[in-house]
Amino acid sequence: MSQDAGFYRTGLIESIMLLLLLLLAFGALTVMMRERWLALGATESLLARLAASAVVASVAVGGLSGVVLNLLQGSAFSDTTLSAAASRNQALLGIALALALTIVGIIRIEMYHRHLASPPVQEEDAEWRVEPRR
């Protein structure tokens, strides 16, 4: 495997780890400090949780990348016939798929969080409901 192909593989593995940890940190921060996030507005809450989870995920990737790369060294870097262009294309595709899954996960967590923040109005309490004639 060429040196460029190895760099692309390393970038792919670290990017997937970063996006997975970003999603996990976002969900954990949302659940653990729900009352504090509800005190902020919707946009401020979302941006604060995204920023905090990005910091946590970056620190975690820095600590875990060496361990994961050593564990995957035999299987991820063993293909000697892989060209740099093919490795780059695989890395781009893998990162794009991981990013799409992370975005979908964050949207689902945010929808769940907003649903809990403003429960639906019961029909009996709705203002538009017409009282029956007596």
In this predicted structure, what is the pLDDT of residue 60? 92
CA distance 116 to 63: 34
CA distance 58 to 18: 7
pLDDT over 70 at 108, yes or no: yes
Mean pLDDT calculated for residue range 95-107: 94
Lowest mean pLDDT among 17-21, 37-41, 56-60, 105-109: 37-41
Q: Which of 98, 15, 28 shows the shortest CA–CA distance to 56?
A: 28
CA distance 7 to 2: 9
In this predicted structure, what is the pLDDT of residue 123? 62
pLDDT over 70 at 76, yes or no: no
User: Which tokens sit at 60?
Assistant: 């975690």
